Amino acid sequence: MLTAEQNQLVTSIGPATPAGEVLRHYWQPAVLAEELTGPRPAKAIELMGERLVVFRDEEGRYGLVARHCPHRGADLKYGRLENGGLRCPFHGWLFDVNGACLEQPAEPPDSRFHTKITHTAYPCREANGIVFAYMGPGEPPPLPDFDCFLAPDEYTFAFKGFVDCNWLQLLEVGIDPSHASFLHRFLEDESSDDNYGQQFRFETEEGGIPITKVLREYDCPDIEFEETEYGLRIFALRDLDEDHLHVRVTNMIFPNAVVIPMSNDMMLTQWHVPLDDRRSWWYAIFSSFSEKVDKETMRRDRLELYSVPDYMPRQNKSNDYGYDPEEQRTETYTGMGMDINVHDQWAVESLGTIQDRTREHLGSADKAIIANRRLLMKTIETIRNGGVPEVARQNGGPPLKGPVAIDTVASKEDWQADWREHDRNRRAQSGWAPDPWA
Ligand code: FES
Ligand SMILES: [Fe+2]
């Protein structure tokens, strides 16, 4: 439970808000690379309460600039992409990706006025289908050596989706291992071939237990977590028999991403990015170790659930998320279909656009959520005192690696060594994935 003041502190993310400052110290997804293709690669976006325009210049460089022209405030969404930048259609001022004003054609030819103008611009970098932006102070940190960035393009797939609520409750569903046994429960395990790229869908793991059965029949896992250099490593431990545990390892990359296993070969890295205090995007990179990702199938499946180019979920509040009481009685825990994205969408949006955390009652299953809020508040304090966040900033240290996300069966005696060993084997076979423990 938080006080009203604390809740406001962790959920407000506009410029100069404490949590907004925290988020701005890290690279954040701004747009999918696929949104900037076509004849005019420019788009108005909102990110952390700021109105911006993202574009690609003729050399393919990404620019992210404030939406309103510094001359008299016209809307650069309608800018002309030409001559090395984005040109305001009102009086022709031209800005490059760094915000430099290159031309002011209505000023006298010998005027140096343009050199005095710098438009707000944020550095961008593309990585495996997502264009990331750095909106914080100083030099941006390097992009970490996370698996989702190191994986060759053919082993990845990126997508995004809209969520009608504050960013933090969206993150908190990703670090809440106990909900999977309920919210994503399937009442029967049908063996099926069409589970490619889906989480918790009839995956038969080593040892022959479908993950759906593990989640359903062992619904009170022991939850443990540890602080790491990137954030939190979270364990959900299910007691399978005298000698074995089911170990599910998930991660929180501070301050707003999660890394979770999709299957033995695929994992999901997902950022929860605020448009403003009340609306968010999830951005995801799916990455696989051994088999190249079938991007076409992944995309087709997602387009069944989301419309483009607005990336809106087809099952949403306006159609009761497809809720069917008969399905709820016989097939799924929610009655909202087989796709877990829909379940999560309902769960986070049903908390209200900004969850009122003064009214919640957290139990021991919620310990990772509590740990994360502590970390966030501690980091807010660090920044308020003029410091830089410790977690997930490389600060000149070795690149951050992994994080490892895995579902596996381990011996009770040595489960900590076992899950690492299973991950190592998978990486040894993959051809690209480095050993994060080296
Ligand atoms: S308002 Fe943009 S050039 Fe004048
Ligand atoms: Fe979920």
Q: Which numbered ligand comes closest to the C-alpha of 76?
A: 1
CB of 117 sitting under 6 A from ligand 1? no
Closest-CA residue, ligand 1 atom 3, reads 91
Q: Which atom of ligand 1 is nearest to the CA of 91?
A: 3
For residue 94, the CA-to-ligand 1 centroid distance in Å is 9
Closest-CA residue, ligand 1 atom 1, reads 72
Burial 60-94 (b: 16+ CB within 10 A, else e): eebbbbbbbbbbeebebbebebeebbbbbebeebb
Residues 6+ apart with CB under 8 A from 321: 315, 334, 336, 342, 345, 346
CB of 72 sitting under 6 A from ligand 1? yes
Q: Report whether the peptide linkage leading into residue 403 is cis, meaning its omega lies within 30 degrees of zero.
A: yes
Q: 179 and 127, same structural domain?
A: no
Q: 47 and 79, same structural domain?
A: yes
User: Using the 8-state DSSP alphabet, how is residue 292 labeled?
Assistant: P
CB of 88 sitting under 6 A from ligand 1? yes
CB of 91 sitting under 6 A from ligand 1? yes
For residue 437, the CA-to-ligand 1 centroid distance in Å is 53
For residue 338, the CA-to-ligand 2 centroid distance in Å is 12
What is the reported pLDDT for 46? 98
Share of the chain above pLDDT 70, in %: 96
For residue 125, the CA-to-ligand 2 centroid distance in Å is 29
CB of 245 sitting under 6 A from ligand 1? no
Domain boundary among 133, 163, 194: 133
> Mind listing the pLDDT tens digit for each residue in 89-105?
999 999 999 999 999 99
Instruction: For residue 60, give its domain range.
Output: 27-133
Q: What backbone torsions phi and psi does residue 325 show, to the nearest 5 degrees?
A: -60, -30
**Is residue 14 included in any domain, yes or no?**
no
Percentages helix, strand, coil for the chain, rounded to the nearest 5? Answer: 30, 30, 45
Q: Which atom of ligand 1 is nearest to the CA of 69?
A: 2
CB of 90 sitting under 6 A from ligand 1? yes
Q: Which atom of ligand 1 is nearest to the CA of 92?
A: 3
Query: Could you give the number of structural domains in the chain?
Result: 2
For residue 385, the CA-to-ligand 2 centroid distance in Å is 36
Q: Sign of torsion, CA 401 406 412 418? A: negative
User: Residue 135: what residue type?
Assistant: M
CB of 78 sitting under 6 A from ligand 1? no
Q: 220 and 92, same structural domain?
A: no
**Is residue 1 included in any domain, yes or no?**
no
For residue 272, the CA-to-ligand 2 centroid distance in Å is 13
CA neighbours closer than 13 Å in the CB half-sphere of residue 250: 26
Q: What is the 3-state secondary structure (H, E, C) of 303-355?
A: HHHEECCCCEECCCHHHHHHCCHHHHHHCECCCCCCCHHHHHHHHHHCCCCCC
Residues 6+ apart with CB under 8 A from 385: none
Domain boundary among 90, 107, 133: 133
Q: Which of 83, 88, 114 to mutate to test the pocket of ligand 1 (most atoms within 8 A of CB)?
A: 88
From CA 323, how far away is CA 357, in angstroms rounded? 26
From CA 307, how far away is CA 399, in angstroms rounded? 37
Q: 170 and 290, same structural domain?
A: yes
Q: 263 and 397, same structural domain?
A: yes
Closest-CA residue, ligand 1 atom 4, reads 91
User: Using the 8-state DSSP alphabet, how is residue 115 labeled?
Assistant: G
For residue 121, the CA-to-ligand 1 centroid distance in Å is 16
CB of 95 sitting under 6 A from ligand 1? no
**Is residue 333 included in any domain, yes or no?**
yes
Task: Give the residues across from 125 on adjacent strands.
Answer: 132
Give Cα separations from 322 to 179, 200, 351, 381, 407 (angstroms).
20, 19, 18, 43, 29
User: Residue 280: what residue type?
Assistant: S
Domain boundary among 133, 166, 197: 133
Q: 153 and 273, same structural domain?
A: yes
Q: 214 and 170, same structural domain?
A: yes
Q: Inter-axis angle of helices 4-11 and 167-174, to 10 degrees?
A: 90
Question: In the block, which residue shows the tokens 């829909």?
Answer: 342
**Is residue 254 included in any domain, yes or no?**
yes
Residues of the chain with pLDDT under 70: 190-194, 200-208, 394-395
For residue 241, the CA-to-ligand 1 centroid distance in Å is 70
Q: 208 and 60, same structural domain?
A: no
Q: 116 and 42, same structural domain?
A: yes
Q: 156 and 122, same structural domain?
A: no
Q: 63 and 118, same structural domain?
A: yes
Q: 158 and 37, same structural domain?
A: no
**Is residue 10 included in any domain, yes or no?**
no
**Is residue 21 included in any domain, yes or no?**
no
**Is residue 18 included in any domain, yes or no?**
no
Region of 386 (left: φ > 0; alpha: ψ -120 to 50; beta: rest) is left
From CA 198, how far away is CA 298, in angstroms rounded? 9
What is the reported pLDDT for 217? 87
Q: Residue 120 belongs to a domain with what CATH number?
A: 2.102.10.10
What is the reported pLDDT for 219? 87
> Mind listing the pLDDT tens digit for each residue in 220-273?
999 999 999 999 999 999 999 999 999 999 999 999 999 999 988 999 999 999
User: Residue 436: what residue type?
Assistant: P
